[in-house]
Structure 1
Amino acid sequence: MFIKKGILIFIPSLVFLVSCNNNDQIIKNEENISVSSTQEDLYQIKQPVKFNVSRGLILNNIDNSLDINNIEMELMQLSTKYFPVDKYTFQEGQYLDKTIINQWLERKGNDAPSGLNPPKNETGDVLKDEQDNPKILSHVLEQNFLNKNGKIKGISLAISLNEFYNIQVADKKGLIHTDEVKVDVNNDDVNDVEKYGKEITNKIIKDIRNNKDIPDVPIFLTLYQETHENNIIPGMFLAETFIPKGQNQISKWTNIDKRYYAFPSNSLSELDRISSNNLTNFKEDIQKYFKNLNPKVFGRLLYKTDQLTNLKIDVSTPTITDVELIALLQFISTRINSLSSDYTPITVSIIDEKQTVGIVTWDPTKKEIYTHAIQ
């Protein structure tokens, strides 16, 4: 058995952990690995680990790293509804390789009959052609779920869609033209990104069912809308559907009402003024008592049906000494419960030159505060 080690130090009113890494808790034995980055249910990953057959492609197709992390972890969590963790083990996608995905990402045309992105009108103005016909389908993420004997019993898919289309195109002279356009520019109540995603997914399901190399198993399919490449919060899942074994059509969609909000932002103030004010007070206290650190405070709040379900805060400083770090950790531990209700998981990360050096967490299950200083 292998467990990442740390030094546990008890300080009044909190638990203080100095560790080599603050990331996932990993427990390993001869057959399975459990990966935990939250307090939620975990999938076992059967050994030996098999990497996604399209490994690396997601880095090329999705611009914001927050989107990459969110789409991978949240798809796994959403899948628990159909593939319970006590009955299935997790495996990265083994069937949709780079060739299949890249064919879907092409613009539909005579030379790309499998393409699922909109065709474009050739006017001779290469930049305008791209601006008028933005690509919407960005990536397809696959995850597999196996029974305890290692046989595949389910597939989950996240159809990742552009909210913004980044253009880089060359003209006949070889000059490179760049631009960025928003996909949904209509002032109506219809999300054109979601609408297009729903239009192309039946083709994806039919292609999968017609592929003899892909087992005929139930498919859980979701639509994901990416955020802007420079945004500090990830995009969001829009809708989900379930296709039983033997079926090749989607019968109905269910909305996924989960969304991230940034602090500070007007949209957060309009949705949840109490949380926004609490965070403002928290930020002002840190900037008042640790003025010499020149701290900046940003937050990412996850809401489900307009209820706060997760709160993550970054406290960034250009530089911090060990003594200052301990003082800041202790200070945050005395303020963390004022940020939200006792039922909301909270993580406050202290970042020094883009590296996380300390974390304070509130565990609503155990009703405890944990503080980690990272060496």
Structure 2
Amino acid sequence: MNKWLGFSILLALLLTGCVPSPTDDQEKALQETEESEQEMVIIPNEQIKKEYYRTPVPFKKSASRGLVVSNLNTKYDMQETEEGLLRISSLYFDTQNYFFQEGQYIDRDTAKQWISRKSNYEAGLNPSITDDMTPAQIAEQAPIYLAHIVEQNYLQMTDDKKVKLAGMTIGLAMNSIYYPREGNERSIDDKTIEEKGKQMADIILTRLRSKPELADIPIAVGLFKQNSRNDIVPGTYFATAFAAKGKSEFIGWKEVDETYVLLPAASSTGNYRDLNTTFKNFKQDIDDYFPSFVNVVGTAFYKDQKLNSLRIEIPIQFFGKSELISFSQYLTSLVKTHFKDIPIEVSVTSVNGPEVLIVDDGDRKEPFVHVYGY
């Protein structure tokens, strides 16, 4: 679940079917539904970070919710298709002036048809196949390119206190590997993924414009490259474009430079050499003090060739509370020593669940440390 949505979801859970009176940190507004009815929503004034969108409550779930589980290969890709699209959306819809809402216009049945083969549904965007094609021919000539569609809506408040749709972002999750029911898997090259993704984006845009409520709003798109089923780091968005109000073609395609790197990396060379060396030294210090660890795994996120954040997961065997506190203090000192000025999150877990959380956003003098149960 996205952390930045936590505040809104908590409020939604407390609503119990009605909208409470707003506090000093909230504002009431009317929102028109697809059925041309109006309902009261609350807009929290509090914004935890400037990068996070505020969200009207009651929180509205995506109209296509549930499909992501069956369409994407890993839980990492499931999360990143949504979180990465939020970063793309912020390029076009400023977080200070727009509110976020999960997609309400591409419902489950529509999304299911669009990601199907054209031979199964007329609206299918993936290539048709015939009964006489062999699995090898299908894999070579007509693999499944499009795995999933993500929709995000962006709202604005009018002068008369009404919240209305003011923008939309679409994410297309593309397969980098096709897994046939029979035969060997087939890799799909980056050029083909990009070419097919751009073609499908324009088709989807035309279909969206046919809806009266979407005919004259700005719509952005992001192309996402899904990783293999065995990867433990997510894929990333690699291209984005924008269609201004009323336009039925995406223009200005540009590269999205984002990469996730698994640490320790297999090679000590390349763009991530220094971070890889630092991580190995950090891991060695842990092993020297507490040699009973199964593994220490890091995931570094690079944006525009710069390290943006680092997450480290440390599974432990059962520790007594005194040993856990001792380890937490030692681990915090290692974070301060090895990862200065790097936004970092360290999660220590055991078979009992989360044990310790250490967070340093790069701006605080001391890391935030929480030992669960204390």
Shift in CA distance, 247/263, structure 1 to aligned 2, threshold 3 Å: same
Aligned 1:195-210 pairs, distance under 5 A: 195-210=195-210
Cα deviation for residue 122 of structure 1 reads 4.3
Q: Which residue of 1 aligns with 2:327?
A: 328
Identity %: 28
Q: Where in structure 2 are there 5+ consecutive unaligned residues?
A: 12-19, 23-41
Q: Which residue of 2 aligns with 1:26?
A: 7
Aligned 1:300-315 pairs, distance under 5 A: 300-315=299-314
TM-score by length of 2: 0.83
Any idea what SS the aligned residue of 2:7 has? strand
Structure 2 distance, partners of 1:364, 1:290, is 27
Name the amino acid aligned to 1:87. N
Cα deviation for residue 241 of structure 1 reads 0.6
Q: Which residue of 2 aligns with 1:346?
A: 344
Cα deviation for residue 337 of structure 1 reads 2.9
* Contact kept? 2:302, 2:308, Cα under 8 Å: yes
Q: Which residue of 1 aligns with 2:139?
A: 131
Any idea what SS the aligned residue of 1:274 has? helix
Cα deviation for residue 121 of structure 1 reads 5.3
Q: Which residue of 2 aligns with 1:4?
A: none
> RMSD of the alignment, in Å?
2.4
Aligned 1:243-262 pairs, distance under 5 A: 243-262=243-262
Shift in CA distance, 209/23, structure 1 to aligned 2, threshold 3 Å: closer
Structure 2 distance, partners of 1:33, 1:331, is 39
Structure 1 distance, partners of 2:207, 2:252, is 19
Q: Which residue of 1 aligns with 2:185?
A: 180
Structure 2 distance, partners of 1:341, 1:282, is 12
Q: Tell me whether 1:232 sits opposite 2:232 in the alignment.
A: yes
* Contact kept? 1:121, 1:129, Cα under 8 Å: no
Cα deviation for residue 265 of structure 1 reads 2.0
Q: For each residue in 1:213-264, what CA deviation from the matched residue of structure 2 results, as whole angstroms up to 9, or x when unmatched?
A: 5453100110011112221110011111111111001222010001101012
Q: Tell me whether 1:85 sits opposite 2:85 in the alignment.
A: no
Q: Where in structure 1 are there 5+ consecutive unaligned residues?
A: 1-21, 169-176, 185-189
* Contact kept? 1:278, 1:338, Cα under 8 Å: no
Q: Tell me whether 1:51 sits opposite 2:61 in the alignment.
A: yes
Q: Which residue of 2 aligns with 1:115?
A: 124
* Contact kept? 2:88, 2:222, Cα under 8 Å: no
Any idea what SS the aligned residue of 1:262 has? strand
Structure 1 distance, partners of 2:240, 2:51, is 20
Q: Tell me whether 1:157 sits opposite 2:170 in the alignment.
A: yes
Q: Which residue of 2 aligns with 1:371?
A: 369
TM-score by length of 1: 0.82
The match for 2:82 among 44, 48, 72 is 72
Structure 2 distance, partners of 1:219, 1:267, is 41
Structure 2 distance, partners of 1:91, 1:317, is 38
Name the amino acid aligned to 2:124. G
Cα deviation for residue 349 of structure 1 reads 0.8
* Contact kept? 1:93, 1:142, Cα under 8 Å: yes
Cα deviation for residue 56 of structure 1 reads 0.7
Q: For each residue in 1:121-160, what CA deviation from the matched residue of structure 2 results, as whole angstroms up to 9, or x when unmatched?
A: 54453x3244223201001100101112310000011111
Cα deviation for residue 164 of structure 1 reads 1.8
Name the amino acid aligned to 2:154. F
Name the amino acid aligned to 1:26. F
Shift in CA distance, 267/304, structure 1 to aligned 2, threshold 3 Å: farther
